Amino acid sequence: MKLKHDCIREVLLVIESDLKLNNVLDNEDLENTIKNFSREDIEYTVKQLTGAGYIDAEFYMEGYFVKHMNFSGHNLLDDVRDVEVWRETKAKASKVSSVSIPIIQQIASSVVNKMLGL
């Protein structure tokens, strides 16, 4: 499967907005909220974000549940949250055939720095 950058951003946004302290979001919560990606895309994204340490989630036969977003997940989301930053980040990343999540984060960070005049 292909890891979709827009799905990563969307999953992180939903986790941040819908996950309450000492609670969980299950696969149905995410799938009912995120309409523009398939169930498989969302689950694959959650698995990859978990494996990379951006979120904590547990998987079982019938699905999964997200326990929390880690500090690195918050950092990634903060870098790509702004719609204009995200558009410019994707435009820059599209110049090559594929870009990793850490590179996406570096591009977004440089876009933010440029917007702030840093």
Residue spans of the domains in the chain: they are 5-70, 74-116
Strand, helix or coil for residue 59: strand
Q: What is the pTM for the complete model shown?
A: 0.91
The predicted structure's pLDDT at residue 5: 94
Name every residue whose Cβ is closer than 8 Å to that of residue 36 and which is 6 or more positions away in sequence.
Answer: 6, 10
User: Residue holding tokens 């498989």?
Assistant: 40
User: Residue holding tokens 């690195």?
Assistant: 72
> Residue 77: phi, psi to the nearest 5?
-60, -40
CATH fold of 5-70? Arc Repressor Mutant, subunit A (1.10.10)
Tens-digit pLDDT profile for residues 96-113 = 888 899 999 999 999 999
